[in-house]
Amino acid sequence: MDIVRAAFAPVPTPVGEDGGFEPSALSRHLRWIADGGVDGALVLGTNGEFPSFSLDERRRVAETAAAAGSNARLLLGVGSCAVVEAVKMARLAGRLGYEAVLCPPPFYYRGAPVGGIADFFRAVLDASPLPVLLYHIPQVTGVPISDELLDAIGDHGRLAGVKDSSGDPREMARLAARFSDGCYMVGSDRLVAAALEAGGAGSISAAASVVPKLVAAVNRGVDRQHELTAIRSLLEEFGLGPAVKCILRGWGFGSYRTRPPLLGLDEARERDLLRRFSEFNVEHPDRG
């Protein structure tokens, strides 16, 4: 999978006022970030709130992204605790023309034996028509992509690499070295420049959904990591997912509501975030 020095935006899944998926907003957003210089998008990742959507809804989101006409390279999150669902989504990604899939571990069974988790991943790898990135986000899943797990999975022709969203420089060093002949993608905006220096292939980071030009520039080696870190800090202060959705809603892309158990920002915090974000002089999107 040739995604060397590639920047991807893990796009949020827009939810309308009625609680349903808002396809037009996703299509507009994908076209805008592609025009903004990032290489592509991850659909139905953590920022896409994939566990909040049924299998049928996830299929529709995947299909909408593929038909958006954005010319963005697309990765599809296939996360599920049910291996049969992960396999179905991986096969769908192949039919729709996605470039690769991202698969987290089965996150409900945090005490599952390493051998069982390896069996889960091997089932996805065996069935997937596309390269597979494993998803390391232990602060959410409670199940790390450990060296023990990687040893248990073993070599596989479709194991392309890993997305590391731990935000931990030590984990970055471990996994970048482990996939030195594969694909290490960093998930933290704070570590984009450091990951490239460590031999990483690029980033799949939340700020790319709202500052695609900046993230693309850092991935090209432009010395603007300090700006990207400052924006990431602001987003984290308000909550990464709610903050990104608030900005996109403020820009008029769509409603970008959330589903329980997640909550958006209240009106006062939305105003505060939008005011402070505007101080970065980010170019306002022309949505067309």
CA dist list (Å): 218 to 175, 176, 250: 21, 18, 25
SS3 state of residue 42:
strand
Strand partners, 136: 164
Distance CA 240, CA 140 (A): 13
Cis, bond preceding 260 (omega within 30 deg of 0): no
Q: How many CB atoms lie within 10 A of CB 148?
A: 13
**Helices 114-127/83-96 angle, 10° precision:** 30
- Our CA angle for 76, 135, 26, nearest 5°, is 30
Distance CA 132, CA 127 (A): 10
Stated as kind and residue range, the H or E segment containing 271 is helix 267-278
Stated as kind and residue range, the H or E segment containing 77 is strand 73-77
Q: CB within 8 A of 35, min separation 6: which ones?
A: none
> Active-site residues: which are they?
46, 108, 135, 163
DSSP letters spanning 137-189: -HHHHS----HHHHHHH---TTEEEEEE-S--HHHHHHHHHHTTTSEEEE--G
